[in-house]
């Protein structure tokens, strides 16, 4: 790595060859203001806010695109640079209707902050001369063209990060606007509502409807956590106020997703309107009644001690934390000797060799998708795949299960032609295979015979399936003969008819769940568990990476965290697994 020295504001600065002046200054702690620049996007030098004075250059240069060189002398706050920035800001304020008092982003708007920084206390040029449209057609996103400064961050994020290519510019001159699919309403366009445009917009042009006007930055709390809507484990920031969750943002420093979140993780998870179970329930004379924890746990413990291990069955959701799954295994598999245990979803088989990570897709020259639809089962993975295709990678899809990604594929093979697809993958230099639980045993065996340069990325169904499989909870339990069935349903929102049809009429059923369902109605005992925003612990994603999840509010009513219920049940039975509570760090919980 070649290092060189330049001077910024009289201070010697070490920089790597290939860096820009802005990157070198930022690394040295020297602030250069920007507007169109974002560290996750390719710089374009459009806004001219980062103009700096560089010796031996005839004019001011944008720091975000100007490369460093040895002995370069840079002045970031010279009178000439400051004057140019103020002029650019005055033009930006004059072009649209930037009346901060009525803007949702007031207080966290980058344009507003620059106005304060450079002392703009009035409009230098006429403004409010034209009204621009406001697009509210999207379910979750508002696009207010009156606030837009045409920085193009949203366009670049849509293309470079989500690789969806929905947004572009339309019209010309002062009439230029951000456009979705040739001026289609955003809600009727190809927008997938991943929301990355919301995270990069520097003004109030794009904002989340749910959290609009719900609080200023100093009134909000931000908690770093992990999305628990699929097995990818994308990093998120949970933005809340007084215990109410306002919105979900992507975490740019996430080692898994690098700031990306899909619609399910950003929006859908906050709109769960199912009825919560907030106290233990027991069936008495055929009718469920609310009881206290002591009675519910005592009854469950008593029934467990009366039933032979061979007559028990255990099923669990993979939405449970590592701590809950470990406690479940310790209680039922180790202490009670019940090995008729499984999970509520299927499992993708393990394949040999080092596992791939999402970030490896960026450098792959050939990607095979088989037995899974990433756009449905792990949408952020599909973003990484499309980015790789944009960079020249070849995408091969096998079968109809690949869904929306088939449209981006270089070749689509039928499942009968899987041998030809595997031959193409084996000939690539850096191939990656993305597969799911739908592959057959024959296909799995063929994948195991691929050359060693092929690496595999399983998209596991569920959420914490990797952890469940590692402790012996993979597969499906046989419930048909069970006299006692213990089900950790958690937040599962599925049709449980397949499960209910296999339960014996005289079976004693205990369900640990956060929401009411036909399954909880069948239960003899219902133990209310905390929802995803109310629990702390860890999840292991499909890459095998373990990450901490954080609670942002207290459990609803008298519900408890999933691992806590199992600990308390173990204590009721005198099995001594309650001391495992120490495995969950108290610092994982944040309330306020």
Tokens standing for 496? 């449980």
Rg of the chain (C-alpha set): 28
CA distances from 351 to 32, 88, 472 (A): 49, 56, 17
Could you give the CA distance from residue 321 to residue 327 in angstroms, rounded to a whole number?
10
Domain spanning 3-77, CATH architecture: Roll (3.10)
Cα–Cα distance for residue pair 277/425, rounded to 1 Å: 49
pLDDT in the model for residue 2: 84
- 549-579: b (≥16 Cβ within 10 Å) or e: bbbbbebbeebbbbbbbbbbbbbbbebebbe
Q: How many CB atoms neighbour CB 73 within 10 A?
A: 14
Superfamily of domain 358-459: Dimethylsulfoxide Reductase, domain 2 (3.40.228.10)
pLDDT truncated to tens, each residue of the chain (592 aa)? 689 999 999 999 999 999 999 999 999 999 999 999 999 999 999 999 999 999 999 999 999 999 999 999 999 999 999 999 999 999 999 888 888 888 999 999 999 999 999 999 888 887 777 889 999 999 999 999 999 999 999 999 999 999 999 999 999 998 999 999 999 999 999 999 999 999 999 999 999 999 999 999 999 999 999 999 999 999 999 999 998 999 999 999 999 999 999 999 999 999 999 999 999 999 999 999 999 999 999 999 999 999 999 999 999 999 999 999 999 999 999 999 998 999 999 999 999 888 999 999 999 999 999 999 999 999 999 999 999 999 999 999 998 778 889 999 999 999 889 999 999 999 999 999 999 999 999 999 999 999 999 999 999 999 999 999 999 898 889 999 999 999 999 999 999 999 999 999 999 999 999 999 999 999 999 999 999 999 999 999 999 999 999 999 999 999 999 999 999 999 999 886 655 444 443 333 333 3
Three-class DSSP category at 194: coil
Residues 6+ apart with CB under 8 A from 506: 483
Using an 8 Å Cβ cutoff, are 154 and 197 in contact?
yes
Beta strand 394-398 pairing with 411-413: parallel
What integer pLDDT is reported at residue 577 of this predicted model? 61
d(Cα 471, Cα 486) in Å, to the nearest integer?
18
Which residues of 454-495 form beta strands (DSSP E)? 455-458, 484-490
CATH number of 281-347+466-588: 3.40.50.740
Taking the C-alpha atoms of residue 304 and residue 47, their distance in angstroms, rounded to an integer, is: 68
Residue closest to 145 by CA, chosen among 115, 185, 118:
185
What's the CATH number of domain 130-270, 3.40.50.970, 3.30.70.20, 3.30.499.10, 3.40.390.10? 3.30.70.20
> So where are the chain's domains?
3-77, 130-270, 281-347+466-588, 358-459
Of 490, 495, 477, the closest CA to residue 528 belongs to 490
Cβ distance 250 to 176 under 8 Å? no
Q: Give residue 305's Cα distance to chain centre.
A: 42
Q: What DSSP letter does each residue of 96-141 carry, written as one string?
A: TT--GGG-TTTTS-HHHHHHHHTT--S-SS----SPPPEE--SSSE
Report how far residue 510's alpha carbon sits from residue 303's, in angstroms, rounded to the nearest whole number: 10
C-alpha–C-alpha distance, residues 177 and 197, integer Å: 15
Contact between residue 366 and residue 424 where contact means Cβ atoms under 8 Å apart? yes
Convert 27-41 into a string of H (helix), E (strand) and C (coil): HCCCCCCCCCCCCCC
Token pair 């230099």 in the structure block, residue: 429
d(CA 575, CA 124): 76
Q: Give the strands of the sheet with 73-75, arranged side by side.
A: 11-16, 3-8, 73-75, 51-54, 61-62
Residue 589's region, left for phi above 0, alpha for psi from -120 to 50, else beta, is beta
Pick the closest to residue 489 from 523, 461, 466, 438 (CA basis): 523
SS3 456: strand
Instruction: Determine how β-strand 73-75 pairs with β-strand 525-528.
Output: unpaired
| Alpha carbon distance 307, 314 (integer Å) | 13
Q: Are 364 and 388 in contact (CB under 8 A)?
A: yes
Q: CATH topology of 281-347+466-588 equal to that of 358-459? A: no
What is residue 354's predicted lDDT score, i.e. its pLDDT? Answer: 82
The residue length of the chain stands at: 592
Encode burial over 155-185: b for 16+ CB neighbours within 10 A, e otherwise.
Answer: bbbbbbbbbbebbeeeeeeeeebbbbeeeee
The backbone region for 165, taken as left when phi is positive above 0, alpha when psi lies in -120 to 50, beta otherwise, is left
């Amino acid at each position: 790595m070649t290092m060189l020295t330049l001077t910024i504001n009289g201070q010697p600065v070490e920089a790597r060859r290939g860096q820009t002046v802005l990157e070198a200054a930022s690394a040295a702690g020297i602030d250069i203001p920007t507007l169109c620049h974002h560290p996750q996007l390719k710089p374009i030098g459009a806004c001219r806010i980062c103009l700096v004075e560089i010796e031996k250059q005839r004019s001011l240069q944008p720091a975000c695109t100007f490369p460093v060189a040895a002995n370069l002398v840079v002045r970031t706050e010279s009178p000439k640079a400051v004057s140019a920035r103020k002029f650019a800001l005055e033009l930006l304020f004059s072009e649209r209707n930037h009346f901060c008092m009525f803007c949702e982003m007031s207080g966290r708007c980058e344009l507003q902050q620059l106005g304060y920084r450079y002392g703009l206390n009035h409009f230098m040029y006429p403004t409010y001369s034209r009204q621009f449209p406001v697009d509210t057609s999207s379910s979750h996103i508002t696009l207010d063209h009156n606030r837009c400064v045409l920085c193009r961050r949203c366009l670049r994020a849509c293309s470079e990060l989500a690789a969806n290519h929905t947004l572009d510019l339309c019209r010309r001159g002062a009439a230029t606007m951000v456009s979705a699919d040739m001026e289609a309403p955003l809600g009727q366009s190809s927008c997938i509502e991943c929301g990355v445009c919301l995270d990069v917009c520097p003004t109030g042009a794009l904002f989340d409807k749910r959290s609009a006007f719900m609080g200023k930055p100093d009134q909000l709390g931000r908690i770093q956590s992990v999305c628990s809507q699929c097995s990818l484990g994308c990093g998120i920031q949970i933005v809340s106020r007084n215990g109410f969750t306002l919105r979900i943002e992507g975490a740019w420093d996430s080692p898994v997703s690098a700031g990306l979140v899909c619609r399910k993780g950003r929006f859908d998870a906050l709109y769960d309107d199912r009825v919560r179970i907030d106290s233990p329930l027991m069936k008495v004379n055929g009718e469920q009644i609310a009881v206290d924890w002591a009675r519910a746990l005592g009854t469950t413990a008593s029934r467990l001690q009366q039933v032979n291990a061979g007559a028990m069955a255990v099923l669990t959701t993979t939405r449970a934390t590592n701590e809950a799954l470990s406690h479940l295994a310790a209680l039922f598999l180790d202490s009670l000797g019940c090995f008729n245990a499984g999970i509520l979803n299927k499992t993708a088989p393990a394949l040999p060799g080092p596992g791939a990570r999402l970030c490896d897709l960026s450098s792959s020259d050939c990607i095979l998708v088989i037995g899974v639809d990433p756009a449905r089962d792990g949408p952020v993975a599909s973003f990484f795949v499309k980015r790789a295709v944009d960079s020249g990678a070849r995408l091969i899809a096998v079968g109809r299960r690949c869904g929306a990604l088939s449209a981006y594929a270089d070749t689509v093979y039928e499942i009968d032609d899987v041998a030809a697809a595997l031959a193409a993958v084996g000939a690539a230099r850096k191939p990656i295979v993305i597969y799911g639980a739908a592959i057959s045993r024959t296909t799995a065996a063929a994948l195991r015979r691929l050359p060693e340069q092929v690496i595999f990325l399983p998209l596991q169904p569920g959420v914490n399936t990797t952890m469940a499989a590692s402790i012996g909870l993979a597969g499906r339990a046989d419930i048909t003969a069970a006299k006692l069935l213990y089900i950790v349903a958690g937040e599962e929102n599925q049709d449980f008819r397949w499960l209910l049809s296999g339960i014996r009429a005289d079976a004693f059923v205990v369900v640990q769940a956060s929401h009411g369902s036909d399954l909880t109605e069948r239960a003899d005992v219902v133990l209310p568990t905390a929802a995803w925003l109310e629990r702390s612990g860890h999840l292991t994603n499909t890459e095998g990476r373990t990450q901490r999840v954080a609670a942002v509010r207290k459990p609803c009513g008298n519900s408890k965290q999933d691992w806590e219920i199992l600990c308390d049940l173990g204590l009721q039975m005198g099995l001594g697994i309650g001391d495992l509570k120490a495995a969950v760090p108290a610092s994982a919980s944040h309330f306020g």
